Amino acid sequence: MIALTLALLLQDTPAPAPQPSPRNPILEGVAVQAGDELVTLSEFQRALKRMRELDPPPDRDAEARQFRRALIDLSTARLEAQEGADLGLDPDQIKKISRNALQAEREKAGLDQYLAQLHSEGKDPMREEADRKEEILQAMWEYKTVGNAFAGRRATRDLQVRPGELRAVYAEYKNDLAPTTVQLRVLMVPSHAAGSPDAARESCEDARTRVLAGEDFALLVEERGVESDSRGLYPFRRPVDFRDPRVRAFAQDAEIGDLSEVTAILSPKTGEPDPAIGYQLIQLHDRNVPPEPEFGMPEIQRQLRSTIAQHRREQVLGRERDRLHRESYSWINPIAVPRPPASPTTPPTRP
């Protein structure tokens, strides 16, 4: 829909009532001021709720990071929309296109389904028209910022990828185009479930001895691991995607059927092995090594060009967003600042 809007332009449930409070209601109703625009607390809370539904935070540190991410994303959206509004496009035309697009979506989905979709996305039906206008203005700003010809103005950046550059990128990243992936089976024994860190380590050491003697590792994981339903079998992943550096090295170098040493599980807070959390034993269950992609394959060249273009785009937009934040006035309501994380008992996490 945004792409269609760009083409057209280039061619020519309500929040609950606030409860009485001794604080200033104006300040309580605003989460962030970004330039000349405001982000309300209710809008921030909806965005944060949606973010946590899509990516549940495992601990208080992750919650704090999501707090900051939601604040930054909403502030950036406001600043980009303000820049888009300053490009000199006809506000009435943008408003008309926004309304027509919304009307088409409502008619296609039906009112009930449309409202249900907004609710699932954490959006306020009362703000949907304003949100759509903001998305259009953001898209216009991004389109111009990355250097495209815009509204009678010449392009400011050369977006073409030269053949030599394409081959150089292929030589450097060809292994990433068809990466090797591995499937691990993991026995995780929490210290609190075993009774103590020593008991958790001894359980994993005993399992290792028994597997080396010929017993089925999957049955031992089902018997004593925290992921008994799946018998500890993980989906295929690239070795570099594992958080624990010891697991990354094992996944990279081990042969199918090899067992790792027994190691303490990493703390999600410190990133260091923490016996108080538990111990783990890992087996390399399978490895998938796809054939090396050929440079002359059209699909590989399309993928390379897309990757290069996206990288350039994100570099440019990242610099310009940093500039917007540096040069614009901002204020954050203390209510919206996350509290320092506590130190609850940490559950085991995937490697």
Tokens of 345: 């008992």
Residue 318 has pLDDT above 80, yes or no: yes
Average pLDDT over residues 43-63: 85
On whether the CB atoms of residues 174 and 136 are closer than 8 A, the answer is no
Residue 286 has pLDDT above 90, yes or no: yes
- pLDDT at site 121: 66
- pLDDT at site 339: 59
Higher model confidence: residue 41 or residue 337? 41
> 172-185: buried (b, 16+ CB within 10 Å) or exposed (e) per residue?
eeeeebeeebbbbb
Residue 281 has pLDDT above 60, yes or no: yes
* Most confident stretch, 50-54, 95-99, 147-151, 174-178: 50-54
Domains 2-10+24-153+329-336 and 179-288 share a fold: no
- pLDDT at site 176: 75
Domain over 2-10+24-153+329-336 is classified CATH 1.10.4030: yes
Distances (CA, A) of 184 to 132, 203, 252, 265, 335: 44, 19, 11, 15, 44
Edge-to-edge strand list for the sheet holding 330-332:
37-40, 30-34, 330-332
Q: What percent of the chain has pLDDT over 70?
A: 81
Q: 116-130, pLDDT tens digit by residue? A: 776 666 666 666 777
Centre a 10 Å sphere on the Cβ of residue 1 and count the other Cβ atoms it contains.
15
Higher model confidence: residue 97 or residue 181? 181
Q: How confident is the model at residue 255 (pLDDT cuts 50, 70, 90)?
A: very high
Higher model confidence: residue 271 or residue 322? 322
- pLDDT at site 346: 54
Whole-structure pTM value: 0.56
Average pLDDT over residues 20-34: 63
Average pLDDT over residues 134-139: 86
Centre a 10 Å sphere on the Cβ of residue 294 and count the other Cβ atoms it contains.
11
Average pLDDT over residues 6-26: 41
- pLDDT at site 307: 81
Average pLDDT over residues 36-49: 87
Residue 278 has pLDDT above 50, yes or no: yes
Residue 322 has pLDDT above 80, yes or no: yes
Centre a 10 Å sphere on the Cβ of residue 17 and count the other Cβ atoms it contains.
5
Contacts of 226 (CB under 8 A, 6+ apart): 188, 189, 190, 193, 348
- pLDDT at site 11: 44
- pLDDT at site 270: 78
Tokens of 48: 């944060």
- The CATH architecture of the domain made up of 179-288 is Roll (3.10)
CA 252 – CA 287 distance, rounded (Å): 10
Average pLDDT over residues 53-61: 82
- pLDDT at site 205: 96
* Most confident stretch, 131-140, 147-156, 274-283, 291-300: 274-283
Secondary structure E strands in the chain: 30-34, 37-40, 181-190, 263-264, 278-288, 330-332
Tokens of 251: 């996944």
From 84-88, 115-119, 208-212, 306-310, the region with the lowest mean pLDDT = 115-119
Domain ranges of the chain: 2-10+24-153+329-336, 179-288
Across the chain, mean pLDDT equals 81
User: Considering only CA atoms, which of 115, 126, 120, 127 is closest in space to residue 81?
Assistant: 127
